[in-house]
Amino acid sequence: MSTAVAVSGGMDSLLALALLRDQEPDVLALHAHFLPPDAAQLALAEALARQCAALGVAFEAVDLSGEFRREVIEPFVAAYVDGKTPNPCAGCNRDMKFGLLAEHAARLGARRIATGHYARLGESGELLRGADPVKDQSYFLSLVPAASLARACFPLGGWRKADVPAELARRGLAPPLPRESQEVCFIPGDDYRAFLEAQGARLPGPGPILLEDGRRVGGHKGLWRHTIGQRKGLGVAWSEPLYVLEKRPEANALIVCPKSALDVLECSTEMANVLVHPQDWPQETLAQTCYRQRPRPVGAELKDGRLRLRFHAPIPRPAPGQTAALYDASGRVLAAGVITGAGA
């Protein structure tokens, strides 16, 4: 078997499967239960199995819900308790889809694993932005190690999302999940606060809201309820709008500031996932610190395995726990890391 295709039930993974089926006679469709499979999830797997049978593709479902809780959900909760704003999708790609799921595919005899991500791999295996600038998902893949990317395949890398429905219709294929969610898959209704409360974690309680100079201007009901850059929902009356500048778990204090004090020029990361050796980085590099942010020119340095980025112009303060991805002008991912802090 040459390739296992991770199928979720949505249109992107279905087209990825169909495209690879055109190229390779021996393809496996692999569906992962990342959440404990309930009746709806089991029905989805049955629908996928029928669709794969019609395509002449072998199908297998694997329950990875316990591993998903350990590798994704529990670190997500712990990060909020620690005052961070995590990016669970980036961690899931690294640890689950191109980690444990890829390992399962290998045990079944697959040489590589394909997904419906909008990203590309270069001739030397480098991770590149997808052809669709609106849907490009290289940012969410930037923490995946080079060794894992060497066994990856992205059939939709050259496609535009807008063309996918028509191509599926042309092939007579209808995804079992016709509507795609933009939410984190394990958070019902995208309400992360309600989700965190339901996990039984010891979430920090109320504390002060302070200005940078230490003046108290109000109180919060838990640092985990807030994120960097937030304006609405603070419940603070002040002479000008205030924004969340920082969360200080050691003092259980929420630090706020006027918008003029929110921008920064630098940020740093934890140990970086280096995909291109620093000696091959171009002089001009670009960095992205959240998915919807356009890449910004930056000076980059790898010191003691960690990224230090200095932006050429101020940017909105990034939140610790999010991902900083470093690119060159062609869209090649050079390195990425989880943000630890930012400053002037």
Residue numbers annotated as active site: 92, 185
Nearest to 225 by CA among 262, 189, 254, 198: 254
Nearest to 343 by CA among 268, 243, 266: 266
Residues 6+ apart with CB under 8 A from 265: 310, 311, 313, 314, 315, 343, 344
